[in-house]
């Protein structure tokens, strides 16, 4: 019996690339999406289960948990990918910004992991939780302060849940910490040139770099409580 892999925020960019790759490997995939996009119908046509969910509210989290439980009794993995990259310059309501960042990047993975842990434990073989964090978990970010703090909190969940879910239940829990992996369409040429210079390799690898990292962690029998840094050597520059 194969158990599905749950990916939050799977309707675009890294989450979509990961979902398509896992479907191509014959995994059952469940994705959540906040805003309906053509990719949602594309994934459904490929056999994925697609669930609309906005984690901004407690009801959104609670409903998603219930929806997943109505879909399956077991899980092979949960990939916490859903994220907003918000910055302080875009608001003067810092309380709302901080709450929003913590809600999507820390509170949601925290509650989903606790609610779904038994489904992960019921999988025939070892299972995985993957937290998509960020390079800035180790150094902060002066332009995305609340975002960086929430990603650091998410990484701390990796440490706590890896200890909680082993050895009694065999669930590996790891962070994937990208730096610049995929530009946004609106990124200007000046921004792109500046961002590339921040790493040693000075490249933007694209979403397949995250796909490869996910597949490595899923294939591992011994990595847990770790961070896979996808940063092009930025930490040494
Ligand atoms: N791209 C990169 O270079 C980097 C990415 N990362 C991390 O990797 C992961 C994937 O990155 P990327 O693909 O660029 O992510 P995106 O910015 O494309 O966001 C992924 C999805 O998250 C969804 N989402 C945002 N907020 C919520 C919410 N409250 N409830 C439900 N869904 C929500 C978005 O939905 P909607 O479509 O409705 O907006 C979006 O589709 C993220 O966690 C990101 O922080 C880290 C460093 C670099
Ligand atoms: N949810 C998102 N988080 C992040 C994104 C993104 O597009 N969506 N992008 C980045 C940058 O690539 C940054 O790592 C380099 O400038 C960070 N987080």
Regarding the beta carbon of 134 and ligand 2, being less than 6 Å apart is answered: yes
As a whole number, mean pLDDT of residues 165-175 equals 93
Closest residue by Cα to residue 152 from 191, 101, 200: 101
Nearest atom of ligand 1 to the alpha carbon of 54: 30
Q: Which helix (H) or strand (E) holds 84?
A: none
pLDDT digits (tens, 9 = 90+) for 114-144: 999 999 988 778 999 999 999 999 999 999 9
- Pocket probe for ligand 1: among 37, 38, 84, 143, the residue whose CB has the most ligand atoms within 8 Å is 84
State residue 168's pLDDT score: 81
Report CA(203)–ligand 1 centroid distance (Å).
20
pTM of the model: 0.99
Average pLDDT over residues 12-34: 98
Specify whether 147 is catalytic. Answer: yes
Are 103 and 34 contacting, i.e. CB atoms less than 8 angstroms apart? no
Copy the structure tokens of residue 214: 């996910």
149 is written with which tokens? Answer: 């703090």
Any atom of ligand 2 within 6 Å of the Cβ of 195: yes
On the question of pLDDT at 150 being above 80, the answer is yes
Both tokens assigned to 205: 């690898």
User: Residue 91 and residue 63: Cα distance in Å, rounded?
Assistant: 29
CA distance 184 to 187: 5
> Which percentage of the chain shows pLDDT scores above 70?
100
**Which two three-digit tokens encode residue 211?**
């796909």
Tell me the CATH architecture of domain 5-236.
3-Layer(aba) Sandwich (3.40)
Please tell me the number of the ligand nearest to residue 198's CA. 2
CA-CA distance, 30 to 6, in Å (whole number)?
5
pLDDT over 90 (residue 203) = yes
Judging by DSSP bridges, how do beta strands 5-7 and 227-230 pair with one another?
unpaired
Residues having CB within 6 Å of any atom of ligand 1: 9, 11-15, 34-35, 53-56, 81-85, 104, 132, 134, 178, 180-182
Here the tokens at position 74 are: 């077991």
């Amino acid at each position: 019996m194969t158990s599905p892999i749950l990916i939050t925020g799977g309707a675009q960019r890294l989450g979509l690339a990961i979902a398509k790759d896992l479907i191509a490997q014959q995994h059952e995939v469940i994705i959540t999406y906040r805003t309906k996009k053509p990719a949602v119908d594309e994934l459904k046509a490929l056999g994925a289960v697609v669930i609309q969910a906005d984690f901004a509210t407690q009801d959104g989290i609670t409903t998603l948990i219930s929806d997943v439980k109505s879909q399956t009794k077991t899980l092979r993995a949960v990939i916490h990918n859903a994220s907003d990259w918000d910055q302080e310059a875009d608001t003067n309501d810092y309380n709302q910004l901080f709450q929003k960042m913590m809600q999507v990047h820390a509170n949601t993975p925290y509650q989903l992991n606790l609610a779904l842990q038994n489904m992960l434990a019921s999988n025939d073989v070892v299972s995985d939780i993957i937290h998509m964090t960020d390079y800035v978990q180790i150094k902060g970010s002066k332009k995305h302060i609340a975002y960086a703090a929430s990603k650091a909190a998410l990484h701390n969940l990796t440490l706590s849940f890896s200890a909680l879910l082993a050895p009694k239940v065999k669930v590996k829990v790891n962070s994937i910490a990208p730096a610049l992996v995929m530009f946004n369409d609106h990124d200007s040429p000046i921004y792109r040139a500046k961002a590339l210079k921040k790493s040693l390799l000075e490249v933007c690898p694209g979403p397949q770099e995250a796909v490869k990292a996910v597949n490595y962690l899923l294939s591992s029998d011994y990595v847990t409580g770790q961070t896979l840094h996808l940063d092009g050597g930025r930490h040494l520059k």
